[in-house]
Structure 1
Amino acid sequence: METGAAFISALRDVGLLGDLNDGLLNALLERLPPTHDEDVRRTELMRLYYVEAPSDGGVARRTKDRLLLHDAESGDSAREIVRRLVECSPEVGALSLERIGTDDGPLVLRTRSDTFSAVLEADDDDLDTGQIDLSELDASPTVAVQALVRAVNILLDREDVRERFVLLCCDGRRECYVRVSLADALALCTAGHLASDEDEAVLDLGAWGRS
């Protein structure tokens, strides 16, 4: 299937999968589920390489390639997702997820220097995979992972960091984000190797073109 060819080659071309030799690749491909759903196969390959296969649980690989893999069934809180995004984005420094003003005020990411980035929240009646419980903030119940990612990308833009997070693949339950340059993001998008094949969606999530 295509998962073992063009997709992997494209990721290698942008500097990812640096430890993926032919032996490891063949071993991982043999463990992919027998499905023709390419989204499932791509996402599972990322999980195997970046989480399960390494002896350290994939910490070194995820840090090096600045990758976030979120599983909606993991129970991770919004603050945990922010913490993991910061690990891949040291340029923004420590971040806090909080509300401005009242308990139902705007949700933002706040830096130590009091720079804010708004987080778009999901409506109660618009629940979907990829959304995280916000009960810890006494807030409306969910926020989309992509909203947190975009808020971090906006902060990266303000720090003049050109590499931003894009949604590499997702299968309805799991989402895989990776930081790449604008040129690499557009190349992956054009070749059909991102979750979205629309340039505008990729640019919007990455907060490119804001400055």
Structure 2
Amino acid sequence: MAHRTLGFAALFLAGLCQAQTVYKVVGPDGKIGYTDRPPPPSAHTVVTTLGRAAPQEDGPARAATQWAVDASLRVYYKQIIVHSAKRLCGMLASDNFTGAKDAAAAATRAASTWEERHAALTRKKIVVVQDALSDAKLNAIADDAKRQNEPYVMRLSVAPIAERVAWCKAMPTTLTMPEFDLAGDARVVRAIMDYVPRK
């Protein structure tokens, strides 16, 4: 049971934590979509990568903007995971299953601590993406993030209570891991906090 619980939690986190590069996909009908997963190769699909440092010949200012966008999107995707975890684990607070209330409280505290630690980054990332990306791109990224997040949230919300309790108990450890602690990543902090809006 524990192995299944950890596997489920790993699946949930792995699916959500890969969002560090955002791909722009132009389909054969001209529709533009955005995803954090590399799309399959297709003769009718053009793929460009957003959020990666631009080639050096494009100039240091462009590279800094690209990296700031990439770092901001990393924070954005992690923020979605933290909010989802807080919401899902908070539901356990009213359950009488052994350890449910403690797991809910621990996960909620961990999520609140993460939010406080990342407050400056989450505020500034809004400035970065609103300055560097069009409204259409922002909407597409938000839609894509929701589309990718919801299946994992739904899967976890209907999992057996023991699995949900174990997953929520693990949240305090999970949210302090380097992949989540972006406030502890000097490159991410510099890229976002040193960004000077162009508009």
Shared fold (TM-score, shorter chain, > 0.5): no
Q: Please state which band the TM-score falls in when normalised by the shorter chain.
A: under 0.3
What's the TM-score once normalised by structure 1's chain length? 0.22
What's the TM-score once normalised by structure 2's chain length? 0.22
Higher CA-based Rg:
2
Q: Which has the higher strand share?
A: 1
Q: Which has the higher helix share?
A: 2
Question: Greater relative contact order (Cα 8 A, min sep 6): structure 1 or 2?
Answer: 2
